[in-house]
Structure 1
Amino acid sequence: MKFIDPAKMKRLIALFGNKFFLVTVAFVVWMIFFDKNDLLSRYEYHQQVEKLKQERDFYEKETNKVTKDLDELTSNPRKLEKFAREKYLMKKDNEDVFVVVKEKGNKE
């Protein structure tokens, strides 16, 4: 078993008895654990910001896709007809429309 040198022990006690050291330690503990911007809150804010950035990127991609589709639909009548047939099941008077739906459980 090792014993601590008495000179080192006295320096350690003097360090913990120093009011500047104690105030600094109290300040650091307060900032890390008890302040409204403590480490846990900062981590949660960081996670929330990252999630919001991902959502922003997703919605920007979707907006660009919808804008492109809108431009195509307004400039090309064939695309407009195709869109109306696929999305809204519209048809001409002399046509019949058959909708084929695949079952989710069937993997063919």
Structure 2
Amino acid sequence: MSNSKVNKKKYLRPFKNVFVLILIVFAIWMLFFDSNSWFIHHELNNEIEALENEKEYYKKEIEKDRKAIKELSTEEGLEKFAREEYYMKRENEEIYIIEYEDSLKTKEDE
């Protein structure tokens, strides 16, 4: 016999055992075909991680909105918001809006 045939038989010897074959088939089944396969678990874990990140983002947004509501609930905060966002003014008062070149929107920015 040639040396390559002996090496092939040496490597194929474990696959002749029924228990090893059953173990390999079971492992392949669990990794790829089962409803609880590793790939499905991996996808679900990624989805859970994305949802947790989204949850943290929304918690931060809720906290920011609570601070804004608290600030707007006072007379001074409401007046400041109206002046800054809507350029409202009191009677007998002038408002000058100063814009710098770098703060103006251009067609390239849009």
The Cα RMSD (Å) is: 3.1
Q: Give how far 1:78 is off.
A: 1.4
Residue 85 (structure 2) pairs with residue 92 (structure 1)? no
Percent identity for Structure 1 against Structure 2: 36
Give unmatched runs, 5+ long, in structure 1: none
Quote the residue 2:70 is aligned against. Answer: 71
Quote the residue 1:60 is aligned against. Answer: 59
Q: Give how far 1:93 is off.
A: 4.7
In structure 2, distance between residues paired with 1:11 and 1:81: 83
Quote the residue 1:9 is aligned against. Answer: 9
Quote the residue 1:22 is aligned against. Answer: 21
In structure 2, distance between residues paired with 1:95 and 1:18: 95
In structure 1, distance between residues paired with 2:87 and 2:3: 86
Offset from partner CA, 1:13-41 (integer Å, 9 cap, x none): 3x323222221111110000111222222
In structure 2, distance between residues paired with 1:2 and 1:54: 58
Query: Number of aligned pairs?
Result: 103
Q: Give how far 1:64 is off.
A: 0.6
Quote the residue 2:34 is aligned against. Answer: 35
Displaced runs of 4 or more, over 4 A: 93-101
In structure 1, distance between residues paired with 2:96 and 2:40: 56
Give unmatched runs, 5+ long, in structure 2: none
Letter of the structure 2 residue corresponding to residue 62 of structure 1: E
